[in-house]
Structure 1
Amino acid sequence: MEIQYKQEVNLDWEEFRATLIASTLGERRPIDDLERIKLMVKNANLIVTARHTGKLVGVARSVTDWIFCAYLSDLFVEEEYQKNGIGKELIRQTKLLIPQAKLILLSAPAAIDYYPRIGMTHHPKAFMLDEVDELQ
């Protein structure tokens, strides 16, 4: 199976959403909030895609300063294409575009064991804040 990887600056949000739904990550993203999905695609400044005969089958969506760090906020592959190395290659292609930047991601629960297997390092010092009212 030949997969084409490339950076896409104008990825169609509907294509992004359809592939997100066809992956397991769709369960943890606001797929019914179309405006939010549109802005997720529009505001990301590094998107690498995987396509099979033109069909979008995987996405690595990041926000980066291009030199120090990049937050890989979405990494997903359509379920029928999973376990073929596409996710790993999306990470590799992303990193090749930002060689000096540290790549950071938060793992989905189902993928927590995947990242160490492909050579990524677990970082126990990450923190999150969902709501401003949670600050004390």
Structure 2
Amino acid sequence: MNSEIAYQIEPNLPVSDFIGVLQSSTLAERRPINDIPRMDRMLRQADLILTARYQGELVGIARTLTDGSYSTYLADLAVAAPFQGRGIGRELIRRTHAEAGLQTNLILIAAPGARTYYPHIGMAHHDSCWMIRGEAPTQSPSQS
């Protein structure tokens, strides 16, 4: 089946497609999918949107921020649940790293249920990630 998967760069991916694949992968639980303008900005501000499609249906996405020189942050890696375990995530990672530049360090924060997946495909664990959580966006008076 992996040979039937079409991979492509889709900088103009519709936000509804993005949300749909996040929902079908369970990643939506950790993304602001009900804030459509914010989700759209997440797509438009990314440096690389790589998708996987099966018979035209979006079944995987890798949304990436990179400087193309040193760091590549794979912000979202999602594969629809019925398509998981078929090498699509691994291929999205491989193609993302190739597009961003193999000289870059590819970095991601694993979803809780995916922590055991990444060592399986050859990624090294790094124990010194630190973060400041973002605040919930507030509505301006014009949005009320």
Q: TM-score, normalised by structure 1?
A: 0.93
> Superposition pairs for residues 1-136 of structure 1, below 5 Å?
1=1, 2-97=4-99, 98-131=101-134
Write out the 4+ residue segments of structure 1 that deviate beyond 3 Å after TM superposition.
Answer: none
Q: TM-score, normalised by structure 2?
A: 0.88
Identity %: 48
Could you tell me how far 1:131 is from its partner in structure 2? 4.7
Could you tell me how far 1:113 is from its partner in structure 2? 0.6
Q: SS where residue 93 of structure 2 aligns? A: helix
Q: SS where residue 59 of structure 2 aligns? A: strand
Could you tell me how far 1:125 is from its partner in structure 2? 1.2
Whole-angstrom CA distance in 1 between matches of 2:22 and 2:95: 19
Whole-angstrom CA distance in 1 between matches of 2:20 and 2:45: 18
Q: How many residues are paired up? A: 132
After superposition, the C-alpha distances for 1:42-87 in whole angstroms (9 at most, x for unaligned) are 1111111101111110000010111111110100001111111100
Coordinate RMSD, CA, aligned: 1.1
